[in-house]
Structures are given as C-alpha cells and as structure tokens.
C-alpha cells in the first residue's frame, strides 16, 4: 500500500507528524531530567575532600569533578552535582568560584546506589572559608 499526501491534507498530515515527533522529543528530555530523590538520599550525608578536576556551571545541573585521595593513596574521581545555575546564582555561586587544582571540601548527599556521585550541599576551602552559599535538597 502506498500513501500519497497531496494538497491541504499534506500540510495537516505533516503538522500532525511534526507534533508527534516534538512530543516524543519532549518526553525524552523530561525523562533525562530527574528529581533529587531519584539519585540522592537526603538522610545520608557525606564529606569529601579533594582537588577539583573540572567545574561546569551548566544546565540542567552544574557538575564538579573531584579527585579524592583514599587512605591507600589511590585516587577516586567523584562527580558532585549542583542545582541549576539560575538557583546557584541566587545562593552566591559563580562560574569561576572554583578552578581545576583547587583543594576543597564538599558536604553533600550520598547517592542511593553507592556510586561516586554526590549532591553538593555546601563547599569550603581547607581553612574553612565557605565557597558560595548553601544549597538545599530539592533546589532544582
């Protein structure tokens, strides 16, 4: 069976097809964005101390990669997630507040699956100087 789309019906069918495609893309991006509770346990906090490998002040969440030296001297690369930049700015965060090579301490919420993933609650320098403001669980 062959379909022939001609005339005003063609425009309607193309419009319908475009709507379906866009709706599918929207559903995919909604699934990609997650809530705090999906990955993190608000009752399980951890403290990490290490050296910043990278800081991305990007949507939908900022990402900080932290190299943490373990007791045996090996390096664990942790991914620390922040809120969206629009919220971070409200709490005094800026894109240049930390740079690769900076030594920092992160307090945050541990991942539910035990991976090297943490949601940043607060950051400070080794001398105790706060970096940015405190972020809350659920700040998106």
Domain residue ranges of the chain, discontinuous segments joined by +: 1-32, 36-131
- Topology of 36-131 in CATH? OB fold (Dihydrolipoamide Acetyltransferase, E2P) (2.40.50)
User: Given this model, what pLDDT does residue 87 score?
Assistant: 85
User: Given this model, what pLDDT does residue 32 score?
Assistant: 45
For the chain, give the percent of residues with pLDDT over 70.
69
Q: How far is CA 99 from CA 37, 45, 87, 136, in A?
A: 29, 24, 20, 23
Chain segment 72-120, per-residue pLDDT in tens: 999 999 999 988 888 888 888 899 999 999 999 999 999 999 899 999 9
User: Given this model, what pLDDT does residue 35 score?
Assistant: 65
pTM of model > 0.75: no
């Amino acid at each position: 069976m062959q379909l022939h789309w001609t005339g005003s019906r063609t425009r309607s069918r193309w419009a319908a097809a475009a709507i379906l495609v866009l709706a599918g893309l929207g559903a995919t991006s909604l699934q990609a964005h997650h809530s705090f509770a999906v990955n993190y346990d608000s009752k399980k906090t951890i403290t990490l101390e290490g050296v910043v490998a990278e800081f991305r002040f990007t949507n939908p969440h900022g990402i900080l990669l932290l190299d943490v030296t373990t007791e045996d001297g090996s390096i664990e690369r942790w991914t620390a997630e922040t809120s969206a930049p629009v919220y971070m700015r409200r709490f005094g965060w800026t894109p240049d507040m930390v740079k690769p090579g900076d030594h920092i301490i992160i307090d945050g919420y541990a991942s539910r699956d035990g991976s090297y993933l943490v949601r940043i609650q607060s950051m400070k320098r080794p001398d105790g100087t706060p970096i940015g403001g405190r972020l809350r669980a659920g700040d998106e």
